[in-house]
Structures are given as structure tokens and as C-alpha cells.
Amino acid sequence: MENRHADTQYIHAVTEVFSSPFLSFKDHKHVIAITHGDLLSISERARVGVYLGHLLGVHPSKQTFDVPDNCELTTELTIIDLVRYALEHADRNLPCKSRLAISKQ
């Protein structure tokens, strides 16, 4: 993040793929799961979340989830919150499938 000229081609490719209309539904973006955040300080973790949110065009506090790599309750709660957000988002935005009539033969 400090050296913005180092991997600009890689960053551009990731941004382009993340913003692809084939990978999103309508105008909605994916969620971001940041793993191994426990290796950083709290301020660095916040900076990474804000940076990725700004870079990829998602809300840093709603669509970015910091999942530390440890077996504590906070890790489990973050994963549950991420899955809950994804399921609620899918439930609101994906069309319902029509039920097929099953005929007996």
C-alpha cells in the first residue's frame, strides 16, 4: 500500500476482474474477506479494509470482513456475519425459481 507503483499491473488486473459485470448481479459488488489480519496491528487492519474498499468500490464497513487466523470466538462471529450478509444479500437480489410441477407416472 505504501509503494503504489510496485504492482500497478497486478492491482489493475484484480480491480478489473472484481468489477466484471459477469461476476456480479445487477450493480452489486461481492464481499471481501481479509484473512490473516491478526498478523497486523489494529490500525493496519483498518487501513487495509479502507484501502481495499476504496480500490474495489465496496463499503469498507459493510462489505469488507476481517477474518483473523485464530480459533477464537471473534473469528467464528466474523465468519457467521460474512455468511449472513451474503445470504441476506442473495435473498434480496436473486430472483426466485418457479416450482416445477412433479407429475406421477
The residues spanned by each domain of the chain are: 8-92
**What is the reported pLDDT for 40?**
82
- CA dist 40 and 38 (Å) reads 5
Rg (CA), the chain: 18
- pLDDT tens for each residue of 48-96: 888 888 888 888 778 888 887 777 788 888 889 989 988 887 777 666 6
Q: How far apart are CA 19 and CA 27, in angstroms?
A: 10
Q: Is 80 exceeded by the pLDDT of residue 10?
A: no
Would you say residue 105 has pLDDT above 60?
A: no
pLDDT, tens digit, for every residue of 11-34? 788 788 777 777 666 656 678 888
Number of H helices, E strands in the chain: 3, 2
Cell 488486473 found at: 13
Tell me, what's the pLDDT at 1?
60
Confirm whether pTM is higher than 0.75. no
C-alpha cell at 33: 474477506
pLDDT band at 102 (very low <50, low <70, confident <90, very high): low
Q: Which grid cell is 88?
A: 441476506
Which grid cell sits at 101? Answer: 410441477
